[in-house]
Amino acid sequence: MNKPLLATLATLVITGAGMAPAAAAAQNGGAAAAPAKKAAPAVKAVDFAGTVSLSNCSGSVIRFPASADSDPALVLSNGHCLETGFPDPGEVITGQSSSRTFGLLNSAGTKVATLRANQVVYSTMTDTDVTIYRLTSTYAQIKNSYGISALTVSDTHPVAGTAIKVVSGYWKKIYSCNIDGFVYRLKEGGWTWKDSVRYTSACNTIGGTSGSPVVDTATGKVVAVNNTGNEDGQRCTENNPCEVDASGNVTVRQGINYAEETYQIPACFTTGNKLNLNASGCVLPKP
């Protein structure tokens, strides 16, 4: 009488029947074992810690590779999130007084503190779309009081295909996708941005995610700042950016979203997190 299937499987498990090593199976004419797969790159845990919520946008507490714990902390968001309104095309704002507040989030997305700025260090919507605020607190004070570290801005150009997360402090939502490629010029209304990051379609960001850090999941570093997307399929209008290549050809990708690279920023900040637009390697637009 044949044993029921479950009983047969139980017998095999108990006795170890049929569990000879792969090498032995190959010697007996069986298929050789497949080569071991190459280990996937380690993935950093990406959460809300260090991100901030603004009144109308998202942002993050950032530091640069050379920043010191005793330096005044900085917040990164978009130029179009500036509380005094959009900078005009060609306009660069530096050293503007500010008392803007930011809700500091922990890893779970819970607000644990209110941080305050005392200056808009840099803001523009020309070539890029960034605002950088200086806070009244140092990195050490924030870490000691709330156990939260700043996000580090990478100083190298991002790579196509990289797995990324767009972390919105405003919506307390994380979008996961990849860098699809780079746009020679991204034009929206009167503004033009250079070498923009284009996401794959999974990052379907919405209003309020502007200013969110774009984090490389392999390094945990900020590689861009989320800023726009083509909502209605229109060509080069506000909320409907278009891609322009080096030959002037225009492409419209409805439903696709974009970010502006941040690797150029660290070279423009020196000791004490002080802005120096004349520093060696600094290519940010000047006033």
User: Domain for residue 242, yes or no?
Assistant: yes
User: Domain for residue 163, yes or no?
Assistant: yes
User: Domain for residue 91, yes or no?
Assistant: yes
Amino acid 42: pLDDT: 66
Is 233:180 a contact under the CB 8 Å cutoff?
no
Alpha carbon distance 68, 170 (integer Å): 28
Amino acid 8: pLDDT: 31
Amino acid 45: pLDDT: 85
Q: Which CATH number do you get for residue 80? A: 2.40.10.10
Boundaries of domain holding 242: 51-275
User: Domain for residue 3, yes or no?
Assistant: no
Is 72:134 a contact under the CB 8 Å cutoff?
yes
User: Domain for residue 77, yes or no?
Assistant: yes
Q: Amino acid identity of 231?
A: E
The mean of the pLDDT values for the chain is 88
Q: What is the pTM of this model?
A: 0.85
User: Domain for residue 29, yes or no?
Assistant: no
User: Domain for residue 46, yes or no?
Assistant: no
How many domains does the chain fold into?
1
Sign of CA dihedral 236, 214, 209, 97: negative
User: Domain for residue 67, yes or no?
Assistant: yes
Low-confidence ranges of the chain (pLDDT < 70): 1-42
